[in-house]
Amino acid sequence: MEDLFARLERTLTPELPSLTESQQQLLKELSIDENQPGTILRDFQTLIDFLQPKGVEVSSVNNLLPLKVLSELNLRLSHPIETKLKRPVQKSYPYINGLYLLLRSSGIAQLKSQGKKQILVLDEAVLAAWSSLNLTERYFTLLETWLIWGNNETIGERQDVWNNLFKCIQFWARVSDKGLKFAKYEDQNDVSYYPGLHNIALLELFGLLTIKQGKPQEGKGWRINSVQRLPLGDAVFRLLFSIGMLGKFEDEVDINFGKLQPNFQPYFPEWERNLTLPKQGFNDGIYIFKVSVSKSWRRIAIPAKRQLSSLASIILDAFDFDYDHLYEFIYKDRFGRICKIGHPYLETPPFADRVRIGDLPLEPGASMTYLYDFGDNWEFNVQLEAIEPPDNKIKKAKILEIHGDAPQQYWSEDDDWDEEE
């Protein structure tokens, strides 16, 4: 067993594996444009154009593209796929799913609320920064977005402990020099879960491997007959091996592009700039929340300068709940990642008494879940209705409206017996 751990430790050393002379030459001679080494830049621009000028309404839960646009968008891409599913969803189109991951994780698109609708729109400031980059800088921005910052929660899946770079390195090791063949549908089940079909599709879009597609069967989705590694993919993953195996950036919350620049800039000196994202600042004002649980709801006003723990307390007061349990607020940030802010007595930051209401990346229409009591799991929907101008007369949280009787916090046998009687 000790020998096994010793070999593993040597495998995970931070030293970069050296590229062969032919791989170095390949990288130095590579000229990046909209059609090479893959079609990632052309297809990504297709998705950007698809959202203009007013954006696209997305699903309410996972904020994914609706069925009515998927078929049209699929036909516009350089690798349209055929599916025999009766009701395909975004996941059924791995190229679209991968491109959507890049669009959200890069910050170029974000969600806006229009009443009860969620609209995916382009962020004009980030789009302008993206447009100022040269083609090489755009290619590596997307590569880093995918491999380092891409989060499965953005595409409606559960996030695991490994980033996409680690998953793709693991997959790469499975593909022999002769490629990887899937004689029947069942053979591709493993890769559909790990690294995921959207990652397989992105490997082709970035020009790292080729995919031979097959005809889908009735009631089935995308059919892969085989995949074949390309020399560029071998060079890229050898260059990034140590980063992928060590999970170097997975604990960073803020997305700062340029992490891979030291690895690639010696071969691509034209990579000078990186995509910059606007920093989330404090937004002052009076926040109006509609808090709902069961069949009742309360409207609450709270100044932006108050801590999130104050909102937690006023919610409990509004529904006549006690303070005896832990809690956490759960919401999605602009990149589609699930964020949690917990009770001050929890072990993992951030903590609710250290975060002000105005620090939250919320816009009117957005919602959080206030999960109270990890045993009974009371879930309160906390929707931000409006942000009104600052008012010096309102210095603490205030209950504005009460609708419906609050649910009973604790159940007892006597209560149940009375109901039966």
Q: What is the crossing angle of helices 40-51 and 197-205, to 10°?
A: 110
The CATH code for residues 286-413 is: 3.10.290.30
Q: Report which residue type is found at 211.
A: I
The pLDDT confidence band at residue 8, using thresholds 50, 70 and 90, is very low
DSSP-derived letter for residue 140 is: H
Whether the per-residue pLDDT at 278 is higher than 70: the answer is yes
- Exposed (0-12), middle (13-18) or buried (19+): which is 244, by Cβ within 10 Å? buried
CA separation for the pair 194, 80 (Å, rounded): 22
Q: What is the pLDDT of residue 416?
A: 52
What's the pTM? 0.90
pLDDT above 60 (res 421): no
- The rounded percent of the chain whose pLDDT value lies above 90 is 82
Q: Round to whole Å and give the CA distance between 355 and 308.
A: 6
Residue 399: strand, helix, or coil: strand
Look at residues 24, 174, 154 and name the one whose alpha carbon lies nearest to residue 102.
Answer: 154
Query: What separation in angstroms does the CA of 357 have from each of 29, 288, 329?
Result: 51, 11, 12
Per-residue pLDDT tens over the stretch 308-319: 999 999 999 999
Q: From CA 60, how far away is CA 113, in angstroms rounded?
A: 10
Contacts of 292 (CB under 8 A, 6+ apart): 380, 381, 383
Task: Quickly count: other Cβ atoms within 10 Å of residue 228's Cβ.
Answer: 17
Distance CA 321, CA 71 (A): 49
> In whole angstroms, what is the distance from residue 295 CA to residue 214 CA?
51
Residue 399's beta-bridge partner residues? 300
For residue 407, give the amino acid letter: P
- Distance in angstroms (rounded) separating the CA atoms of residues 239 and 82: 34
Q: In what order do the strands lie in the sheet with 224-229?
A: 180-181, 224-229, 209-213
Neighbours of 20 (CB within 10 A): 13
Contact 201, 94 (CB under 8 A): yes
Q: What's the pLDDT at 120? A: 96
pLDDT at 354 > cutoff 90: yes
Diameter of the chain measured on Cα atoms: 85
Please, which residues have CB within 8 angstroms of residue 348's CB and are 6 or more apart in sequence?
342
| Nearest alpha carbon to residue 222 among 382, 74, 56 | 74
Q: How many residues does the chain have?
A: 421
Mean pLDDT score of the chain: 91
Q: Residue 244 pLDDT > 90, yes or no?
A: no
Contact yes or no for 75/140 (Cβ under 8 A): no
* Residue 332 clears pLDDT 70, i.e. is over it: yes
Q: What residues does each domain of the chain span? A: 9-264, 286-413
Q: Is the pLDDT of residue 138 over 60?
A: yes
Half-sphere CA count of 37, side-chain side, radius 13 A: 23
CB 92 within 8 A of CB 219: no
Q: What are the tens digits of pLDDT across the range 64-120?
A: 999 999 999 999 999 999 999 999 999 999 999 999 999 999 999 999 988 888 999
Stretch 161-179: mean pLDDT, rounded? 92
